[in-house]
Structure 1
């Protein structure tokens, strides 16, 4: 103690040095522990990696049989789903060109008779959009596709006729790409995006869906127009997609305000209880007719 009092500066240096050495030893031990844990983790990961590299990646027989069972069930479910989808579209029977022309003539006569029965006015010389084939026969390669489209168009026209619209003022069928001898390249509709995907080898992915497009304009009462839209969207015999829809009211302006009210005539005392009064009710809204223009896509599956 006397030595420390006599050599205070040297003693202070020794004490501080001892504390620093102790702290350094503690810090060194802590970092060595962290390094040991990290090295142990790295050694374990390296050993696991080396073990996996030496393993055979092919599954064992039990797992392989289980995988094959999964694939077979998936393929069976996929094939069944495709068949169900094909059942919901018009069939594509093989047709010769003269057979298609005969079917077109029969379908046109059936539509005209149905229109007369339901009091629906059709366009002049209405050939269901196949005007050119009413005079000339199609090629053999496209006859079957045209026969399928004819069935689709006839289903759509029957929906309009059964709803008893007032008239069909315009009807146009967009030609199939096969009619021009071109490959079926999709024509994007307004607001529709077409995604093109390709396999790694550069081979384009085969198309699964083709669209037959028609454009129609008809006049009808609002109730009949609603029935047409409901029948199109809920059809179980053909997939229809309403791509565009325009509705125009025949009355552009609302009813005028009457400045003077017409007095209601008093009922005659001789009128029977079940007889209506002399002044008939005048509905100012709700009895207008509308003009509907729509672009309809009729799907056909190519798988």
Structure 2
């Protein structure tokens, strides 16, 4: 007590500090308690949400009707999209064609593309046949195979035409993916047997369409990769990519799956090469003075045009050609999977949880 009386100012400061520390500790304790409560509440709410999302709907009339409505709306949107993609204006339909007709069409289209390439000074591979080299001397196996190949022939012709029109220098490689039925008979897909369900006595005679598990697992599209190697410049490279993304130029579903760009010259120029280029540029031929026109009087002054300034810069890099490796997927969408008809329950008695 004597110390407090003797050091009142210091005692007051210590008292304020102790009081503040106690108040701060109490505030931290209350905040920590509130934080723990909030975390526990959030965990409980999150677990309840997960449980509700993963829980099965109780099969009462309201839930069944709501679920069937959502499934029906989703199926309608999927069928509308599928019908749009399978429309003949969007995806080329397979049309009947004989084996000899396909071979004649292949030779005609190949010659047309060769003439276009010659006119545009674009080099094509030797024995170029749009990727169908084996069919220039032999016929497809069946008319069905010829009809499928006919669609792919149109795709290859459009693609190579776009390459030539974009201004590439040469097409060094062209490989297409063979169709599954070109060389061997493809086994028909195994259709799962339709499930038999016991009909409840209270069901109506209204049928609804459901998709089987086998139909749902069936792929909705087929990919046919096309491999290309092209020598080109910067501008034609941009034109080519724009053409591949332009439906008006390439109406088929073509997707650039892989693209590799490599400079024609992987190493920079040597100093000796740069020095030689500079010496070549700096060597300028001296123009002879202009002579007076014939018949002009002696002493006629001739105006000599000024000489062009010598080049003070040379191009070291940037004019090399590009080597492109492209993998383009041709996409074809499949028709709708087979579905089965089953009776729609009118009450909740026949609905399983």
TM over 0.5: yes
Aligned match of 2:259:
245
How far the C-alpha of 1:285 sits from its partner, in A, is 2.1
Q: Decide which of 243, 248, 272 is 2:305's aligned counterpart.
A: 272
Q: Is the 8 A contact 2:284 2:310 kept in 1?
A: yes
Alignment of 1:98-117 (within 5 A): 98-117=100-119
Match for residue 155 of structure 2 among 140, 145, 152: 152
Q: Once the two structures are superposed, what CA deviation does each residue of 1:179-200 show, in whole Å capped at 9, x if it has no partner?
A: 1335499xxxxxxxxxxxxx87
1:293 and 1:84 map into 2 onto residues whose CA distance is 32
Aligned residue number for residue 325 of structure 2: 293
The DSSP-based 3-state class of the residue aligned with 1:255 is coil
Report the CA distance between 1:156 and its aligned residue: 0.7
Structure 1 residue aligned with 2:122: 120
Q: Once superposed, what is the RMSD of the aligned Cα atoms? A: 3.7
5+ long unaligned stretches in structure 1: 1-51, 186-198
Displacement of 1:288: 0.7
1:140 aligns with 2:143: yes
CA distance in 1, matches of 2:254, 2:222: 12
Cα distance, 1:173–1:115 mapped onto 2, change above 3 Å: same
Select 2:178's aligned residue among 175, 178, 187.
175
Deviates more, 1:207-216 or 1:86-95: 86-95
Indicate conservation of the 8 Å contact 2:176/2:227, yes or no: yes
Instruction: Give the gaps of 5 or more residues in structure 2.
Output: 1-57, 189-210, 290-302, 336-353
Q: Which residue does the alignment assign to 1:84?
A: 84
Q: CA deviation at 1:276?
A: 3.9
Matched position secondary structure for 2:107: helix
- Distance (whole Å) between structure 2 residues aligned to residue 252 and residue 141 of structure 1: 48
CA distance in 2 between partners of 1:299 and 1:271 (Å): 67
Q: State the alpha-carbon separation in 1 of the partners of residues 114 and 63 from structure 2.
A: 67
For residues 81 and 56 of structure 1, the distance between their equivalents in structure 2, rounded to whole angstroms, comes to 30
> 2:311 & 2:61 partners in 1: Cα distance?
95
Question: Could you tell me how far apart the structure 2 residues matched to 1:132 and 1:233 are?
Answer: 30
Report the Cα offset of residue 121 of structure 1: 1.0
Q: Distance in 2 between matches of 1:157 and 1:291?
A: 16
The correspondence for 1:235, drawn from 206, 228, 247, is 247
Partner residue, 1:217: 229
Q: Could you tell me whether the CA contact under 8 Å between 1:89 and 1:299 is conserved in 2?
A: no
- Paired residue secondary structure (1:178): coil
- What secondary structure is seen at the aligned counterpart in 2 of 1:291? strand
Q: Does 1:255 pair with 2:269?
A: yes
Q: Note the C-alpha offset of 1:133.
A: 1.0
CA contact (8 A) 1:177 1:184 kept: no
- Residues 121 and 166 of structure 1 are in contact (CA less than 8 Å); yes or no, is this contact kept in structure 2? yes
